[in-house]
A and B are shown apart, each in its own frame.
Chain A
């Protein structure tokens, strides 16, 4: 079964850090670009970052540049999002997603909730 499972969410204070993980199974993880997409409570979807198959290219939305780092370990079929200097506006459900060639998001995880609050 094709599956993505996120973990690592939780409650963190403003200025704190958190590392999200996404475990892939059922498909050839190393063959696909991967993305993180987030959704604030009651709001729409916002793309956060993506990474090329071999990790050589990474792109970020402006609001997280310099604070978040996307990475992957193809040997472990895993995607990561290191989030530093967290702000209240980063509060959201974070989804990992596999990208079809050219960029539509085909497979999604169930999401992990990140709450930034004191």
Chain B
């Protein structure tokens, strides 16, 4: 199975900050990578797929980049509603696998 490793596991930031979360795959996955946001008690929400394609309705302050094994999710200007846990996920091969999550907290 492809292992997905996110860093950091948790992070404190302030509204207005620019933040970057990284995700590394244990082997190359081309651009078959998605990013999700999850808030407590809620289902995950798809933010980005194909490594850099913004899902419809997702604010443009979210962006993704990378290919192969190294990927990033950037939030350009943190809003209060962005404090949540973020997951990367590969869909290059089976089993589909997720990163362990990055919890973004208010500083």
Contacts and interface: CB of A to CB of B under 8 A. Distances in A.
B46 A46 contact: no
Contact of B45 (A44, A45, A60, A108): A108
A47 B97 contact: yes
The A contact surface, by secondary structure, is: strand
A109 B95 contact: no
A111 B87 contact: no
A44 B43 contact: no
A105 B89 contact: yes
B98 A46 contact: yes
Contact of A109 (B38, B43, B96): B43
B57 to A, nearest CB: 11
Interface stretch (A22-30, A76-84, A96-104): A96-104
A105 B32 contact: no
Contacts, number: 57
Interface in A103-118: 103-106, 108-111
Contacts of B34: 103-105
Interface residues of A, number: 22
A63 to B, nearest CB: 9
Interface of A: 35, 37, 44-47, 50, 59-62, 95, 100, 102-106, 108-111
Interface of B: 1, 32, 34, 36, 38, 43-46, 49-50, 55, 87, 89, 91, 94-101
23 contacts: A37-B44, A44-B87, A44-B99, A44-B101, A45-B38, A45-B87, A46-B98, A47-B97, A47-B98, A62-B95, A95-B44, A100-B49, A102-B91, A103-B32, A103-B96, A104-B89, A105-B34, A105-B36, A105-B89, A106-B46, A106-B55, A108-B43, A111-B43
